[in-house]
Amino acid sequence: MFSIIYLVLMSLLAGILTGIVGMASLTLYPVLISVGIPPITANATITVAQVGAGLGTVLSSLRELHCHWKQALKIAILNTVGGIFGAFILIHSSNNGFKKVVPIFILLAGLMILTPKRKDTHSVADKWRLPINWLGIFLVGIYNGYFGAASGLLMIAVLSKIIKEDYAVYNAMRNFASFTNNIFAALMFILMLSIDWAVIIPLLLGLSIGGYIGPIIVRFIPSKVIKITVGVFAVVLAFGLGYEAYF
């Protein structure tokens, strides 16, 4: 009984964080490991459960997605194609090696979020910046399908350089892209990997409720405050996880 309450509360927290910045995998991965679920199974189970959270975040993000569906669909398609590649990689490999790579990804995401947007110029570098950022969406999709921890932070970092809107808008686009990405990855994992169905219901319950609450919270916090908070948190988290991975 205690483990069920523990899973529901932690998935509720993960759902709220997912709606704000996308950190369900990073939050729940150590939780499932702590209750004895193997790493690959934990990853796959979280992805399946996140479909429920994704539904909540998308429904709660409809206000921000209004008038932005065309761009949101482009981002979601590119990210999801990457996610399918990443899911194939996970199915045919192990995720143990990613322990040392995750802190580097999170640190880069934090620094990207904290770096101010450049004013529009016409230099050669600027002409390449947009294609590189769109490639980044695809690569984040691959990472999300493979491991997923902190993929929301990476996605926010990339979108903050592409979308010229408030945080709430490109966070809503991230929520939608993550939802479509997780649907396809979850279907692949259900067919080809082991899923711990015993914990799915507690995870779905917490993630769904928390996922709906997250985008609502974002509406009441200034965009600049969220970006600085998320960026600083990412940098601190990167050093913490880096210490655990390397020392």
The confidence score (pLDDT) of residue 125 equals 53
Helix locations, the chain, DSSP H:
2-20, 24-34, 39-60, 62-65, 69-91, 102-114, 124-146, 151-162, 167-192, 200-219, 223-246
With CA atoms as reference, report the closest residue to 154 among 187, 110, 95, 114.
110
Q: pLDDT tens-digit profile of 221-233?
A: 887 888 788 788 8
Q: pLDDT tens-digit profile of 68-109?
A: 999 999 999 999 999 999 888 878 765 555 567 777 877 887
CA distances from 106 to 74, 143, 215, 228 (A): 24, 12, 22, 15
As a whole-number percent, the residues of the chain with pLDDT over 70 amount to: 91
CA distances from 3 to 7, 8, 11, 135, 218 (A): 6, 9, 12, 41, 30
The DSSP H or E segment spanning 96 is none
Residue type, 178: S
pLDDT, mean over the chain: 84
Cβ of 121: how many Cβ atoms within 10 Å?
A: 9
Cα–Cα distance, 216 to 214 (Å, whole number): 5
Lowest mean pLDDT among 1-10, 68-77, 111-120: 111-120
